[in-house]
Amino acid sequence: MPGDFDGTTSDSASHSTTRNASADHGGDVGGTVADAGFDWTRFDGVLFDLDGVITPTAEIHERAWGELFADYDYTEADYLAYIDGKPRYDGVRSFLSSRDVVLAEGSPDDPPGTDTVCAMGNRKNEIFNEILERDGIAPYPGSQTTLDLLEAAGIPAAIVSSSKNARTVLHASGLEDRFDVVVDGVVAVDEGVIGKPEPDMYLLGAERLGTDPARTVVVEDAVSGVAAGAAGGFALVIGVDRGAGADTLRSHGADLVVDDLAELLAERSSS
């Protein structure tokens, strides 16, 4: 998605090259699983995005956004280009800007509606929770197995998500007890932490997990998320391609791209 991050693409690519050359974990961290000879136990901790990485909540988010923006000829491409991975109000603002629509900012206390940026964000959240309560959510099988592997190996894991619904989703998916740390949109607001594509949320996640970023993995499906991981000096940024495109994820900082985390499990069992 060219133009989304001023200067991020080139900076991330340069940073990625430096990180790959200096990593002391062994193996060549390239663009394929085979190149990486991947082994989770080479790292001290793993920071996961939630929506689209652990659970298919991106699908619910997209449905909610689609309903919110039904009057604006909204498409899936809009979600990936303007919304995916961003805090809710930033997503509203970004999408409306793409349609040359300017609304008053309003307040986070605004009732759900369409009159302000915050009102629209609150309405989207309302729609999301209605869908989640009605339909439920289950983790991706490959992600569930990856969490099992990490737990068995004693490798701590954290959720780093822009969503303020992260804990609700974890509860609905039965995963609320599987993560040592959760840094979500609520924490970001409370702590005054800048959201993705800046690295601050991931750096806070590593700090709370007690791991050095240089020995910690970031797993992301959003362009803004891989850019954040690349900017943070992390050992490895894994992009999970749920629609953003492998080349796009790599160009924004992903060292390794897979369609599903199950691919890494398969590689580990065969290596």
Residues involved in catalysis: 49, 51
What is the C-alpha to C-alpha distance for residues 92 and 79, in angstroms, rounded to an integer? 10
User: Residue 154: left if φ>0, alpha if ψ -120 to 50, beta else—which one?
Assistant: left
CB 157, CB 143: distance < 8 Å: no
What are the residues whose beta carbons fall under 8 Å from the beta carbon of 242, sequence distance 6 or more? 52, 58, 221
Beta bridge partners of 116: 104
Cα torsion through 98, 78, 168, 103, rounded to 10: 20
**Coil, strand or helix at 118:** helix
